[in-house]
Amino acid sequence: MFARDIGIDLGTANVLIHVKGKGIVLNEPSVVAVDTQTGRALAVGEEARRMVGRTPGHIVAHRPLKDGVIADFDITEMMLRHFIHQTNVKGFLSKPRMLICCPTNITSVEQKAIREAAEKSGGKKIFLEEEPKVAAIGAGMEIYQPSGNMVVDIGGGTTDVAVLSMGDIVTSSSIKMAGDRLDAEILAHIKRTYKLLIGERTAEDIKMKIATVFRGSRKEEMDIRGRDLVNGLPRTITVYSDEIEEALREHVDMIVQASKAVLERTPPELSADIIDRGVILTGGGALLHGIDQLLAEELKVPVFIADNPMDCVAQGTGMILESIEKYRSDISTKKEHGCSKKLY
């Protein structure tokens, strides 16, 4: 049995693994539950996510990735090793080649950490590629043509905005404002306004079920439960779409401003293409209600949500893996001309 090539979307919120010839075989939350007394991992992925906020003191649910990069090296390695073992891609005598996606502006030290974690978890050769480029490929954009394509990839830890042409990024921006920060803002709003303490999972439920970022586009309400900060007892309140929109407005504006900044730095010919083709939204944040309407209004260009936006990066790794030899020669060519920042 030979090892298969695999593509990994190493996300702050979720890890997706694409195995060459099989498609996406794993989609699990980036969470590891660790027993602090023994240092042993008790659960990884969905099982560990269910433990968040519901464990005794000696069991801690860690999220080892923060803002798109590794915050805890050992736990990331533990998590990757577990997921790769689950996919059953290792051969008897060979290890899989891995293509891993990372945000556009991470440092060489952060790149090295990702590469080392992947090698220690069982990878043979590690390729790193910029996330918005892979997301654009996965969303079906024709980025290898001499025309402008713009993608906004809103993940759990970072939002990556990029304009692509001729198979590479022309101009880009990466900000640490994405799904996790929006959850934290909802949590803070409930605490500030109602003196009620809720958990991360409740905040995420509010975001998915009733939140909107485009004023007046959604009128829904939801009953939530938490702990009263005044008397310490459980309490139920009702929250509304309008108040969540107001709470998130300032933070979502950072995504709008990053998108505008990238457009302002884009050559005019490519800008004209973007007016024709529009902007594609990928990542879990693309499912945030009203984000497409808000960006379309602010950027004055059409905005579309990709099919299965959460899977775009993993699908893109699969497409690159199908022609991995060509991809390797492209990297070599760029390296010779001194314009590659990738590690391989």
Tell me the average pLDDT of the chain. 89
Are residues 208 and 226 located together in one domain of the fold? yes
Confidence of residue 336 (pLDDT cuts 50, 70, 90): very low
Let me know whether 102 and 162 are in one domain: no
3-state helix, strand, coil in the chain (%, to 5): 40, 25, 35
Q: Please check the confidence at residue 24 and state whether its pLDDT lies above 60.
A: yes
Quickly state the pLDDT bin for 291 (edges 50, 70, 90): very high
In a domain, 237, yes or no: yes
pLDDT digits (tens, 9 = 90+) for 62-121: 899 988 889 999 999 999 999 988 888 766 567 888 999 988 888 899 999 999 999 998
Residues 154 and 65 in one domain: no
Judge whether residue 205 has pLDDT over 80.
Answer: yes
* Whether residues 111 and 213 fall in one domain: no
Residue range of the domain that includes 232:
179-247
**pLDDT given for residue 328 in this prediction:** 59
**Does any domain span residue 341?**
no
User: What are the structure tokens assigned to 45, written together?
Assistant: 């992925």
pLDDT at 330: 60
Torsion angles phi and psi, residue 60, rounded to 5: -120, 130
- Tens digits of per-residue pLDDT, 214-234? 999 999 999 999 999 999 999
162, 292: one domain: yes
Residue 76 confidence (pLDDT) = 92
Instruction: Answer yes or no: do 154 and 290 share one domain.
Output: yes
- 241 and 277 belong to one structural domain: no
With CA atoms as reference, report the closest residue to 6 among 108, 127, 177.
Answer: 127
Nearest Cα residue to 149 out of 164, 133, 134, 161: 164
Count of domains observed in the chain: 3
| In a shared domain, residues 124 and 225 | no
Helix/strand/coil for 79: helix
| pLDDT tens string 246-280 | 999 999 999 999 999 999 999 999 999 999 999 99
* Cα dihedral: 200, 201, 206, 209 (round 10): 150
How far is Cα 324 from Cα 48, in angstroms, rounded to an integer? Answer: 34
CATH number of the domain within which 273 lies: 3.30.420.40
Statement: residue 23 has pLDDT above 60? yes
What pTM, to 2 d.p., does this model score?
0.89
How does 186-212 read in b/e, with b if 16+ C-beta sit within 10 Å?
A: bbebbeeebebebbbebbbbbbeebbb
Between these two residues, 340 and 246, which has the higher pLDDT value?
Answer: 246
Q: State percent of the chain over pLDDT 70.
A: 92
Q: What are the tens digits of pLDDT across the range 149-196?
A: 999 999 999 999 999 999 899 999 999 999 999 999 999 999 999 999
Answer yes or no: is 18 within a domain.
yes
Among 199, 214, 247, give the residue marking a domain's end.
247
